[in-house]
Amino acid sequence: MDELERRQALAAFLRTRRTRLQPADVGLPARSRRRTPGLRREEVAELANIGVSWYTLLEQGHDVHPSRHVLQSLAQALRLTTAEEQHLFLLASQELPAKMIVEEAQVTPALQRVLDAHSSSSFSHWAALGCAHLESRSRSVISLSRAIPPSLAQRRLALFST
């Protein structure tokens, strides 16, 4: 994705998230005659505590570079889910905040079962090599298969952590 496409994708993402919210959803009083679906740009800017013209430039795909703080404020104002907030940061070419990386590194019980299943009999050669593991985006190991013997698991963790 080139720079122009990234900015256009970010603009479209912000517009769709803005239009799905109503003033009552964010605690704003209903105003008379709404010509636009969802929140107005002015309302989003007010909720995010940023300038209206700056938000407008961002939503129109202009070459502006929001800070992490601005992105977090927008995510809160637009009531984004964690996945949507991650997407917002990626579209804005910003590193994910530490809280998102920690959340990302959590392994659900269902995912652990899948990992363990891949280390069962038909995949035992992977377990012997110590390849049955999960990595986070930062390439740190977040889970090993329970089928890997503890001694081998410790060696694999030592290998991955260097």
The residues spanned by each domain of the chain are: 3-95, 105-161
Average pLDDT, the chain: 75
25-37 pLDDT, tens digit per residue, is 888 887 777 777 8
Topology adopted by domain 3-95: 434 Repressor (Amino-terminal Domain) (1.10.260)
Nearest to 94 by CA among 112, 70, 68, 119: 68
Rounded to whole angstroms, the Cα distance separating 43 from 6 reads 24
Q: What pairs with residue 134 in β-bridges?
A: 143
Tens of pLDDT along 40-73?
999 999 999 999 999 999 999 999 999 999 999 9
Query: Which percentage of the chain shows pLDDT scores above 90?
Result: 34
- Where is pLDDT greater, at 45 or 129? 45
